[in-house]
Structure 1
Amino acid sequence: GAHAKDALDAIAAQYPHLQIKYGGHAFAAGVRMPVQSVPEFALVWEEAIGAALAGKPASPLRHDGPLGQPPSREAVQEIQALEPFGKGFPMPVFCDQVEVLRIRPLKAGSQHMSLDVAFPGGVTHRMVWFGCLDADGRAPIQPGFHTLGYELAASTYKRGPGFDLIVRQAIGLEPR
């Protein structure tokens, strides 16, 4: 990984006009700055972390294997019964081969996409993959069969109680 405090040390030295105040260690850091510095800081932070990670192999996705049943509200309730999740006890990530039927951006100009997928047995669901589109709007996968690592999360967004399938990675692809 990248060392968060080292990245902030470098940014503070190279960009003193950002007026950042910070503290932290290798894996976590906090930063304060004038609000007008935020857009430039966001860019230089991305550059600093990108440079720190350049040439390092990506971490493989740790997962819990296949869900073993079609995604459902009942499965969400079983997962919720295991909470709280956190350090040392992460939220489960399942890994299933699905047929991606359709891919589209969540909205124009978004880096997120929506996938219509068919699970084994023909059950279809919508999945969401945050931050996966590149700067030109290209998706990391195309319709077809893929093994996806995903979380099954409770949701009340727009349509009432239900669940979301949130893609974390296409297995066999390097994480972005």
Structure 2
Amino acid sequence: CPASGTPYRLVQGLGRVPDAPHAVNVSFVTEGNGVGVSTEPPVSAKSLFIKENSRQAQLDNNRPVEVETRATANLSFTVYLSGQHKVTWETILKNRNLYVEVPNGILPEGSKESLITLLEYAEEKLCCEHVILCFCKSRNDRASLIRTFMFMGFAVACPGDPIVPMVPEVMYMVYRIDPDDLDDD
């Protein structure tokens, strides 16, 4: 560190402008509230597993906790429907289950078609056994979402289902992929 009172100089090669546009890389899985708007933080697929792990640690605080290490991958699916129209789904792949975060607010145009494409990819390329949709139970459009997703073949997950984290404020809908379909490849 230079002595106090010594002015700092710019380092050669470093500019005053960031080298990457930060505002463009907005993620749907960021936590927090909007400025000046009192709303629930969005459901984050990643945070579901963090909450589940911390809750399990609290339940087992008198006993040593067995840590299960399995591969988990964060995947972002962007489906280009036509021209510049695209839909992005944030997901987590864990134990042959694909957890899909339903974005807050009104679903963008083409969401149904892009979700069908995502289901096909999960079955054919990722060899998933289940696709699980995750969204807040407190959403105003929850009943509409449930009807729409049930029409597509999803079912509401039962409480205590081992494939969904135990987070009471989150609704889970499960699409079960027929194991016979996975063996055809």
**TM-score normalised over the length of structure 2:** 0.23
Say which one has the larger Rg: 2
**TM-score normalised over the length of structure 1:** 0.23
